[in-house]
Amino acid sequence: MICKTDVATETLLEARKLGSKVSLDDFETGHSSLSYISGFPINQLKIDKFFVDKTPSSDKDRSLLITIIEMGHGLSLKVLAEGVDSTKKLEFLNSNGCDTYYGFIFAPALSVPELTK
């Protein structure tokens, strides 16, 4: 019997063969768990805004975010943080090795017509 994760893995491998990059979105929220990192052929770990919003507000939250970044790098993944909306958060992520980020600090959300202007 073929399980859904086997089908997903095969689909992701095919997408990568075509040159696509695969990112695990919203890491450790909802359905994105540690098991997907080891089981799926992904290129990038995307840190959910939930974690970014709390940083750098406490030692516990800073440690958690640093651990996620280091784990991603330890697994040879790029690490992307979403929801960066302050210089403080950007500096923290940058100084702790986060590879890429996006959020309102760079630009507000735009519709397709606004973006193509």
More confident residue, 60 or 56: 60
Q: Which domain does 100 fall in, by range? A: 37-116
* Residues in contact with 65: Cβ distance below 8 Å, sequence separation at least 6, in sequence order: 47, 51, 52, 54, 55, 92, 93, 96
In a domain, 41, yes or no: yes
pLDDT over threshold 80, residue 43: yes
Question: What is the distance between the alpha carbons of residues 14 and 11, in angstroms, rounded to a whole number?
Answer: 5
In a domain, 94, yes or no: yes
In a domain, 20, yes or no: no
In a domain, 57, yes or no: yes
Question: What is the distance between the alpha carbons of residues 65 and 70, in angstroms, rounded to a whole number?
Answer: 9
Per-chain mean pLDDT for the chain: 81
Distance separating the N- and C-terminal Cα atoms of the chain: 51
Q: Where are the alpha helices (DSSP H) in 1-117?
A: 4-17, 34-39, 49-53, 59-74, 87-95, 112-116
pTM over the 0.85 mark? no
In a domain, 77, yes or no: yes
Using alpha carbons, select from 59, 61, 52 the residue that is nearest to residue 26: 52
Average pLDDT over residues 48-73: 88
In a domain, 13, yes or no: no
In a domain, 29, yes or no: no
Question: pLDDT tens, 78-92?
Answer: 999 999 999 999 999
In a domain, 92, yes or no: yes
Question: What is the distance between the alpha carbons of residues 69 and 117, in angstroms, rounded to a whole number?
Answer: 35
When divided into structural domains, the chain yields a total of 1
**CATH at 57:** 3.40.50
